[in-house]
Amino acid sequence: MLFIIIFLFSIPSLVFSQPFSNFQRYDLPSTAVGPFSLAFDASGRGPFTGISDGRILRYDPVQNSFFDFAFTSPTGSKAVCDGTDNNDNPDRGAICGRPLGISFYFRTNQLYVTDAYKGLVVVPPNGRLAENVATSAEGVPFKFPFHLDVDQVTGDVYFTDFSSQFQLSQLLQAIDARDATGRLLKYNPNTRETTVLLRGLTGAAGVALSYDRTYLLVAEMNANRVKKLWLSGPNAFTTVDLITFQGRPNNIEKNSLTDFWVVVNTRIPGTTAGSFIRIPSAVRISGIGGGILQTVDLSRYFPNMTISEFQPYGLGGYIGSLRTDYLGRGNY
């Protein structure tokens, strides 16, 4: 009996691995790429997503199409920016912006955005131009704002700066160098101050606040692990390494009271020497002990691609990526 229990707990990713029963692909408007992060507003409209030319789009299921909702840079205009790819071009990114993480504060229906080139910005409820709220903390400018989560009670915004040395256009260099200058930050909208919660993170990627608001999970992409930071209780402001993956964790989204979806991109050797294949997956983990509860292999729908986010929705979730010209939705 004991052996069976140990066996089950030692390979949970195999035991609970399951494909989707259906998958739907939502093509972005022509020229648009990179729906990195997904969010729904206070009345359930969406998904909203930020793309590589600096726009934030809203999907309307009734009309089955995407509409312009907002943009993150005051110097961005349709004529200059639409259809550009600011993932790899920092000069263009500085002009047009590149929204990465997006998350609503439901009480006000403001949309907070980590823009890779502009900092932390906030979009007013009716959309259009975002307002910049933070560009540095403790005198150190943000280099690569990545992902965020909003405390729905206080309005505090928890967000990551992937690196203090490398920007979005240098993501692969940052990974190769195992850069460990990332930070976990907190923006307080009442004082308008940004404080540093953790520094020296090895590629600070996804962040999620637990439903009970007692702890945060933060992904360290360059170290293949997820850390847990307690915010209250006897362990407040201490961390533990919650789980280490074979692949690289990206964004994290809360799922229920105690579990979270982490996107993990793994590389396996290809058929010829030196080649590789990317295996994107969504992994549901326990925020309590870090155990793997479920693994969804998404390589059928995103072949040899990396994905960035799994946003749980209904009996499945929406899937975003930094590079694709579509987002996906799957149900179990």
Ligand X SMILES: *[C@@H]1O[C@H](CO)[C@@H](O)[C@H](O)[C@H]1NC(C)=O
Which residues of the chain form contacts with ligand X (CB under 6 A)? Answer: 270, 275, 277-278, 304
Nearer to ligand X, 5 or 273 (CB): 273
Give Cα 193 distance to the centre of its chain. 23
Cβ 270 to ligand X, closest distance in Å? 5
As measured in angstroms, the least distance from the Cβ of 268 to ligand X is: 10
Question: Minimal distance in Å, beta carbon 144 to ligand X?
Answer: 22
DSSP letters for 302-327: STT----EEEEETTEEEEE-SS-SEE
Tell how far CA 203 is from the center of its chain. 13
Q: Which residues contact 267 (CB under 8 A, 6 or more apart)?
A: 247, 276, 277, 278, 279
Q: Which residue, 19 or 270, has its beta carbon nearer to ligand X? A: 270
**Closest residue by beta carbon to ligand X:** 304
Q: What are phi and psi of 314, to 5 degrees?
A: 55, -130
Single-letter residue type at 74: P
Structure-block tokens of residue 139: 């005198």
Which of the 8 DSSP states describes residue 246? Answer: S
Closest to ligand X by CB, 86 or 265: 265
Q: How far is the CB of 264 from ligand X (least distance, A)?
A: 17
Q: C-beta of 330: minimal distance to ligand X in Å?
A: 22
Q: How far is the CB of 276 from ligand X (least distance, A)?
A: 6
Q: CB-wise, 75 or 304, nearer to ligand X?
A: 304
Bridge partner list, 149: 158
Q: Which is nearer to ligand X, 248 or 329 (CB)?
A: 248
Q: DSSP assignment, residue 168?
A: G
Pick between residue 237 and residue 276 the one whose CB is nearest to ligand X: 276
Q: Within 13 Å, how many C-alpha atoms sit on residue 222's CB side?
A: 20
